[in-house]
Homo-oligomer: A and B are copies of this chain.
């Protein structure tokens, strides 16, 4: 039921388009997955996500395990039925969230909203405290698969250790090996054919470890490959270099997922290097903080210059928000702390990013992705706030 077909490649880059077939429908790659951590994409209904153009969403094993619990979700017939989303879902293993809990550990991703607490890593698994009630839990690779099987997502992720970008080589080697052993255990524990298991390449910021990890994960011959531990505080140059290091050693017949990335710029750079799948909290989280994107970059609606601005957030944007409301009105909603404002901004930012993916796919079909990327980057600033 799970099948990935590469449809078109480009001559001036490694960008490619494809179709990923899953039990809940097909997804056009490269694609971006809006984040529905705890069984919802904040502020939106599943119908709105579909209208915006989302073909797949991401949910998190760690969060759903704590609340409402895997057995509760299973009782309702799985995650799709429970949350009312009939399209494909990917569940992250929760590894990243657990390691973000760790005290004295750098977590340079945009804050995941979890208070850091005691985490104990061993080769068997990881012990952690719930961010909700402080209760102690232990995740093994087998347990994570069991939870993900109960949740029933179309794509499930193996347990891995997300390594800080400034870890030394000794620690990085240990953690990468642990990730490999866990991937093997996950593969062994996973029996449900309708769910595609992806394992995760680690290796920190060391080229040789990254290559070794890419080879190891590729040899597991799973339906897809993820690259983890990037966009965690390293420079953009370093991130792109690590992607380039890893890509030649990954089976290019299978989809490649760059985890936790990212900004419009990072996504285009990664597509250029052959990546097919992305997820990031950025569009939704920025929206709730009042930031919106247009072709020139990022702006904040709370700025007083928008008080009487009759224009939509972005000229010629096809999203519901831009077709219906002015900057002035949306700013008013933010000033009044009205949740409708958060929703309208979320709709716009997700539409902006999903539309960028559509445009990227068209550019790839037309064999001019390089030109498309260059033209986008020439205008777009990460922030104008």
Q: Name A's B-contacting residues (CB within 8 A).
A: 38-40, 42-47, 67-68, 72, 75-76, 82-84, 307-308, 310, 324-326, 328-329, 332-333, 335-336, 338-340, 342-344
Contacts and interface: CB of A to CB of B under 8 A. Distances in A.
A325 B332 CA distance: 30
Contacts of A324: 45-47, 84
Closest 9 CB pairs of A and B: A339-B339, A84-B324, A68-B332, A38-B336, A43-B339, A40-B340, A40-B338, A84-B325, A72-B308
B83 A42 contact: no
B44 A340 contact: yes
Nearest to A75: B308
B67 A332 contact: yes
B340 A76 contact: no
18 contacts: A39-B332, A40-B333, A40-B336, A42-B338, A43-B338, A43-B340, A46-B324, A67-B332, A68-B307, A68-B328, A72-B308, A76-B310, A82-B326, A82-B329, A83-B329, A84-B324, A84-B329, A339-B339
A245 to B, nearest CB: 39
A220 B39 CA distance: 57
Contacts of A325: 84
Nearest to A39: B332
A329 B344 CA distance: 23
Contacts of A342: 339
A68 B330 CA distance: 12
A42 B337 CA distance: 10
Contact of A76 (B75, B82, B326): B326
Contacts of A39: 329, 332
